[in-house]
Amino acid sequence: MLSSEFPAYLATRKAEVESALDQTITVTYPEVIYEAMRYSLLIGGKRLRPILCLAACELLGGERATAMATACALEMVHTMSLIHDDLPAMDNDDLRRGKPTNHRVYGEAIAILAGDALLAYAFEWVATQTQGVSPAVVLRVIGELGHAFAATGVIGGQVVDLASEGRPDTNLETLHFIHTHKTGALLEACVTCGALLGGGQDSDLEHLRTYAQSIGLAFQIVDDILDVTASSEQLGKTAGKDLVAQKVTYPSLWGLEASRQKAYDLVTVAKDSLSGYGDAAHPLHYLADYIVERDR
């Protein structure tokens, strides 16, 4: 793939994912919970996680259709983490994906339940909708997904993140822990699950883990930079929150320019980790570029 073809690739994958997501949840009794789940799942977002999953599957010669159920599940669990992150007990935010947050529309109780329901449904969706691979592969995918979200992953990162609010003495090691868990673990699961569904071996998973850990950190550095440099309108979420919460961030430790350079260095590491795959790795290379060059 040429870099000039990447915008069309991204737009096509996003449309495919959104069409698949639209078919995951049917509104039935009690309507409010299904509506709340659909609200946050379908109001937008870059769909980066499902696209990474599909790209990893294709890198190893798999069919996108085989990975689509897992791609949707990854977006469901990501969306649930956003719903819960926005709650008054966490970030207490009013804006997400350019729209009022779930609890602002449906109230706190339903927002908590919509997040819980999306989390449970994601696992059901993988277990019941994945076709074209052995049950052993589906079980490994479920294990990767659970590990990424449990206290070993996203939740552990969130716990340390909450504890470090208002703590200007937070050091680089703690910041690294927060982001490799809160953001990186799920991005890692996207590519490892995609690789498993594409027929990948353990050696493929190792290369892809290095790729994901590098882009995960680069993603977070860029997130920290955008929190300072972009507007709420541009981001679709409240900008400038890190300063208000007195959070230590990469730009606050290193400055904006050094942070940008670090993000670019990490993209180089990510690309190098896939050097054995030749041109087949181009979509993942361009996705890494997109992560650092994005403006939202």
What's CA 12's distance to the chain center, in Å? 19
Measured from the CB atom, is 85 or 204 closer to ligand GRG? 85
Using rule CB under 6 A, residue 160 touches ligand GRG: no
Instruction: Kindly indicate which of the ranges 81-89, 238-246, 262-270, 279-287 contains the residues binding ligand GRG, using the contact rule CB under 6 A.
Output: 81-89
Interface with ligand GRG, residue 58, by CB under 6 A: no
- Residue 258, number of CB atoms within 10 A of its CB: 13
What CA–CA distance (Å, rounded) separates 220 from 155?
16
**Euclidean distance between CA atoms 242 and 254, whole angstroms:** 15
**Binder to ligand GRG among 9, 18, 35, 46 (CB under 6 A)?**
46
- Selected from 1, 105, 155, 160, the binder of ligand GRG by CB under 6 A is 155
Q: Which is nearer to ligand GRG, 25 or 119 (CB)?
A: 119
CA angle 21, 133, 42 (to 5 degrees): 5
Does 280 sit near ligand GRG (CB under 6 A)? no
Chain positions 183 to 212 lying near ligand GRG, rule: CB under 6 A, are 183
Q: Crossing angle of helices 6-22/48-59, nearest 10°?
A: 110
User: Nearer Cβ to ligand GRG, position 149 or 286?
Assistant: 149
User: By CB under 6 A, which span of 54-62, 79-87, 132-140, 167-175 interacts with ligand GRG?
Assistant: 79-87
Q: By CB under 6 A, is residue 113 in contact with ligand GRG?
A: no
CA distance 52 to 122: 17
Helices 64-85 and 185-197: angle between axes, nearest 10 degrees: 160
Enter the tokens of residue 137.
């592969």
Q: State the CB neighbour count (10 A cutoff) for residue 120.
A: 12
Which stretch of DSSP H or E encloses residue 161? helix 154-164
Q: Under the criterion CB under 6 A, does residue 90 sit at the interface with ligand GRG?
A: yes
**Which residue's CB is nearer to ligand GRG, number 62 or number 182?**
182
Q: Which two tokens stand for residue 295?
A: 């403006």
- CA dist 28 → 35, 73, 118, 119, 125 (Å): 9, 20, 15, 18, 17
Which residue has the closest beta carbon to ligand GRG? 45
Which one of residues 24, 70, 81, 214 is an interface residue with ligand GRG (CB under 6 A)?
Answer: 81
Instruction: Pick the stretch among 6-14, 44-52, 54-62, 242-250 that binds ligand GRG (CB under 6 A).
Output: 44-52
Work out how close the CB of 236 gets to ligand GRG at its nearest, in angstroms, rounded to a whole number. Answer: 7
CA pair distance 23, 46, nearest whole angstrom: 18
Q: Which residue lies nearer to ligand GRG by CB, 20 or 133?
A: 20
Q: Does 127 interact with ligand GRG (rule: CB under 6 A)?
A: no
Element (H, E) at 96: strand 95-96
- Write out the residues near ligand GRG by the rule CB under 6 A: 45-46, 48, 81-82, 84-85, 90, 97, 119, 149, 154-155, 158, 182-183, 223
